[in-house]
Amino acid sequence: MTATLIWILVGLVVIGLYLSWTAGRLDRLHARIDAARAALDAQLLRRASVAQELATSGVLDPAASIVLYEAAHAARQAQEDQREVAESELSQALRAVFAEAQQVEAVRSAPGGEDAARELAQAVRRVPMARRFHNDTVRAARALRRHRKVRLFRLAGHAPFPMAFEMDDEPPAALADRAGA
């Protein structure tokens, strides 16, 4: 009888340790999601800021400046529920303004344009990487949260179900070519 109780107690301790380890893993994934979201937000803000700065610099033609400024301003001011749409529209505006390499060359030839073109190229390259890292972390947390043991023992606590950030982040071809330069 005593041996049976000891084995039951050992089994309960092992199960408790396993559930505690799983809850800790889930908590670390949620922390990584928060960090990845902060990094993504920083890259999106940087891209919008650089685009807005370039739009107001007088380097672009007036129509391109207006299109780029309005899209960048909308992306910076968007509420959380409209953020994905606003960021996608900024990506589309960047592709429209920098559809051809001549536009990038015109920016580069202006005073201070070389730095502005390089900074914008880096910003449009980093957004997809940050978004991919965020979405990969979200995917891992979702997979763990779908396990029966996590749902049964409510190991996620009151944390909201993680959501991926879906947007059009394809960079303009002319800027993508300059990103490594």
Distance CA 70, CA 57 (A): 14
The answer to whether residues 128 and 176 touch, using CB atoms and an 8 Å cutoff, is no
Q: Please state, for a pLDDT cut of 90, what percent of the chain lies above it.
A: 82
Instruction: Indicate the DSSP class of residue 172.
Output: P
pLDDT tens track for 12-35 = 999 999 999 999 999 999 999 999
Burial of 9 (0-12, 13-18, 19+ CB in 10 A): exposed
Sequence ranges of the domains in the chain: 19-172
Q: Give tens-digit pLDDT for 144-177.
A: 999 999 999 999 989 999 999 999 999 998 887 6
Give rounded-to-5 percent helix, strand, coil for the chain.
Answer: 80, 0, 20
Residue pLDDT, tens place only, 123-132: 999 999 999 9
Give the pLDDT band of residue 179 (cuts 50, 70, 90): low
Residues 6+ apart with CB under 8 A from 121: 171, 175, 176, 178, 179, 181
Task: Check residue 178 and give its pLDDT.
Answer: 54
pLDDT of residue 141: 97
pLDDT bracket for residue 73 (50, 70, 90): very high
> What is the chain's mean pLDDT, rounded?
93
